[in-house]
Chain A
């Protein structure tokens, strides 16, 4: 039983690597160079390596966010919108409030958390009161707020001096400390890991974790035994949306120093795969986030060095998505096709 649980994700990763190598090899004019940069590029120097670690930070947050929702048996497909819009509002608030550096940083984080939580709360309320699938409504609400975020960045809050749609820069004292300069790696890495570990502990030893598990495995049973299932679902979604938005805000504070249009580029979505790749085990999220970041930075470096289309990475990520819940090596009777966890 155990070895299958470990082998299946490893097979998924191996297939994804193999397919990406094949696609790159076929389409590139200099396949050897391309493959070398794609696979070894992130390790070629400290700068690339640090950037790869930095790229895994938002994925850890969104991965944890997805994990929180899955832990209570919920789907949150609005992660992208919560991640993006939460960070934009947080940035705007931090820019408009003249307070000292540390408090405005915490203010930004708190505001983004609240906004993300709110965006995740609405689909859950729709589900509870009207019975409409949170799967579709969370996606659509998220999508709407990506547009609204773009609108804010392009219009009202755009820095007139910037060449691209972005807000003004945050004060230099507000941003998070860098760990491995000149790369982008910043203190958010530690925060992300701490949050993941915290949830691991909560899941394992706290009443809340047990409640999540009961509700996930059998909501009716939980209800019969007097649990407030609705409250637990709401809590899971609020935390999920909040953490996703927190990730966006940390990304802004750590890497960009301002909200830039399209900065989330799929991090929200990939969080779902990040969580599923390690079977929603929060203690291992850092590993799968690193794997996704590795793919992303490999593709980025390859496109920088040998001009391969960077979209290849979306292809590979999609393949991981398709296979991530697949159970290779399982005998056919054993699995329950619809369980995510």
Chain B
């Protein structure tokens, strides 16, 4: 039971951490992209739709990543070249996304509710026939599907990126844009890169939610994008910090899923558990932080 819970928390952590790392790139350059909830939702839809149509999960993921990249760049372009407020534009994209997926699913597939895709390509799952004597270890360590493996790789890669010149430039621009500009850094391009990363990561996170299930519902992301934002804000510059916060949030999502399955708690309460736990995390974290360094303005 406990190992199962741990295993499912790992599975719920991965989409959150991937999206959070995407958001943290934009946070690092000082332009937090709050459209990731909507971006993830769109990629949820695109990935299953394309995967079912082309019978290839890889194409589905690619399409999802492309579409979410475009959305992410759209936020950036509207902000940069039309001077729109980035938070308001982000909210707008979230709104567009929630309308768009319902609109698309009703015009393309003729239904607004839950859509099951009958002929989904199966996603490769890593199975190893070792450790047969230890059931708990096996549940914990194996049977990850390929998307989850990619996600784990992505965590590592984004840690690497922060060590590259590009990553350091992002950080410099976030700390002080004017100085970075005066030192001759290409501020615009660096920011475009961070939004591209954000889009790619959110695309992957979105497809991780829908592809393994082979279905789509309009409320599929269920505030995971906002949880990821919290992880990105609390984790700050450090990808490992983001990972740590995401793990706590992933655990709370897994816990609420379990409660939904095994208890008779009303659905509304169960749905709000991740949010409440997240707020708790925020509280504890902020108290610890202010205790360390005194009051921050």
B268 in contact with A322 (CB, 8 Å)? no
What chain B residues lie within 8 Å of A139 (beta carbons)? Answer: 226
A337 in contact with B79 (CB, 8 Å)? yes
B88 in contact with A131 (CB, 8 Å)? no
Among the listed B79, B95, B223, which residue makes an inter-chain contact with A269, where contact means beta carbons less than 8 Å apart? B95
Flag whether B159 is at the interface (Cβ < 8 A).
no
Q: Closest chain A residue to B279 by CB distance?
A: A140
Shortest CB distance B165–A (Å): 26
* Chain A CB within 10 A, most for which of B92, B107, B297: B92
Flag whether B278 is at the interface (Cβ < 8 A).
yes
A147 in contact with B271 (CB, 8 Å)? yes
Do A327 and B34 form a contact, CB below 8 Å, given A140-B275, A322-B93? no
Contacts of B218-255 to chain A: CB distance below 8 A: 223, 226, 229-230, 233
What chain A residues lie within 8 Å of B278 (beta carbons)? Answer: 140
B268 in contact with A324 (CB, 8 Å)? no
Among the listed A132, A316, A317, A323, which residue makes an inter-chain contact with B84, where contact means beta carbons less than 8 Å apart? A323
A residues contacting the other copy or chain, number (CB 8 A) = 53
A326 in contact with B226 (CB, 8 Å)? no
Among the listed A136, A155, A269, which residue makes an inter-chain contact with B230, where contact means beta carbons less than 8 Å apart? A136
B117-130 vs A, CB cutoff 8 Å, 1 = contact: the mask equals 00000000000000
A77 in contact with B89 (CB, 8 Å)? no
What chain B residues lie within 8 Å of A266 (beta carbons)? Answer: 95
* Chain B CB within 10 A, most for which of A132, A151, A330: A132
Stretch of A202-210, A234-242, A249-257, A305-313 at the chain-chain interface:
A305-313
B95 in contact with A317 (CB, 8 Å)? yes
Stretch of B50-58, B132-140, B147-155, B281-289 at the chain-chain interface:
B281-289
Flag whether B99 is at the interface (Cβ < 8 A).
yes
Among the listed A154, A313, A330, which residue makes an inter-chain contact with B83, where contact means beta carbons less than 8 Å apart? A330
A315 in contact with B83 (CB, 8 Å)? no
Do A136 and B84 form a contact, CB below 8 Å, given A318-B97, A321-B95? no
Shortest CB distance B102–A (Å): 4
B89 in contact with A321 (CB, 8 Å)? yes
B268 in contact with A323 (CB, 8 Å)? no
Interface size class of B (residues with CB under 8 A): 35 or more
A321 in contact with B92 (CB, 8 Å)? yes
A229-269 vs B, CB cutoff 8 Å, 1 = contact: the mask equals 00000000000000000000000000000000000001001
A328 in contact with B82 (CB, 8 Å)? yes
Shortest CB distance B281–A (Å): 11
What chain B residues lie within 8 Å of A167 (beta carbons)? Answer: none
What chain A residues lie within 8 Å of B283 (beta carbons)? Answer: 126, 130
Shortest CB distance B268–A (Å): 4
B99 in contact with A312 (CB, 8 Å)? yes
A148 in contact with B268 (CB, 8 Å)? yes
A313 in contact with B92 (CB, 8 Å)? no
Flag whether B296 is at the interface (Cβ < 8 A).
yes
Among the listed B89, B229, B296, which residue makes an inter-chain contact with A322, where contact means beta carbons less than 8 Å apart? B89
Q: Closest chain A residue to B229 by CB distance?
A: A136
What chain B residues lie within 8 Å of A321 (beta carbons)? Answer: 88-89, 91-92, 95-96
A309 in contact with B275 (CB, 8 Å)? no
A130 in contact with B290 (CB, 8 Å)? yes
A314 in contact with B98 (CB, 8 Å)? yes
Q: Closest chain B residue to A151 by CB distance?
A: B268
A318 in contact with B92 (CB, 8 Å)? yes
B279 in contact with A144 (CB, 8 Å)? yes
Flag whether B205 is at the interface (Cβ < 8 A).
no
A136 in contact with B82 (CB, 8 Å)? no
A130 in contact with B78 (CB, 8 Å)? no
Flag whether A112 is at the interface (Cβ < 8 A).
no
Among the listed A75, A137, A309, A326, which residue makes an inter-chain contact with B106, where contact means beta carbons less than 8 Å apart? A309
* Alpha-carbon distance between A40 and B228 when the two chains are bound, in angstroms: 42
Contacts of A103-131 to chain B: CB distance below 8 A: 126, 129-131
Q: Closest chain A residue to B98 by CB distance?
A: A314
Do A319 and B92 form a contact, CB below 8 Å, given A136-B230, A314-B99, A330-B83? yes
Among the listed A126, A276, A319, A327, which residue makes an inter-chain contact with B96, where contact means beta carbons less than 8 Å apart? A319
Among the listed B82, B282, B297, which residue makes an inter-chain contact with A126, where contact means beta carbons less than 8 Å apart? B282
Do A313 and B99 form a contact, CB below 8 Å, given A143-B226, A151-B266? yes
A-B contact pairs, 18 of them (CB 8 A): A77-B91, A131-B289, A133-B233, A136-B229, A141-B279, A143-B226, A143-B272, A150-B268, A273-B88, A312-B103, A315-B99, A319-B96, A321-B96, A322-B74, A322-B89, A326-B78, A327-B84, A338-B86
Residues of B within 8 A of A (CB): 34, 74, 78-80, 82-89, 91-100, 102-103, 106-107, 112, 223, 226, 229-230, 233, 266, 268-269, 271-272, 275-276, 278-279, 282-283, 286-287, 289-290, 295-297
Residues of A within 8 A of B (CB): 27, 75, 77, 126, 129-133, 135-137, 139-141, 143-144, 147-148, 150-151, 154-155, 266, 269, 272-273, 276, 309, 311-328, 330, 335, 337-340
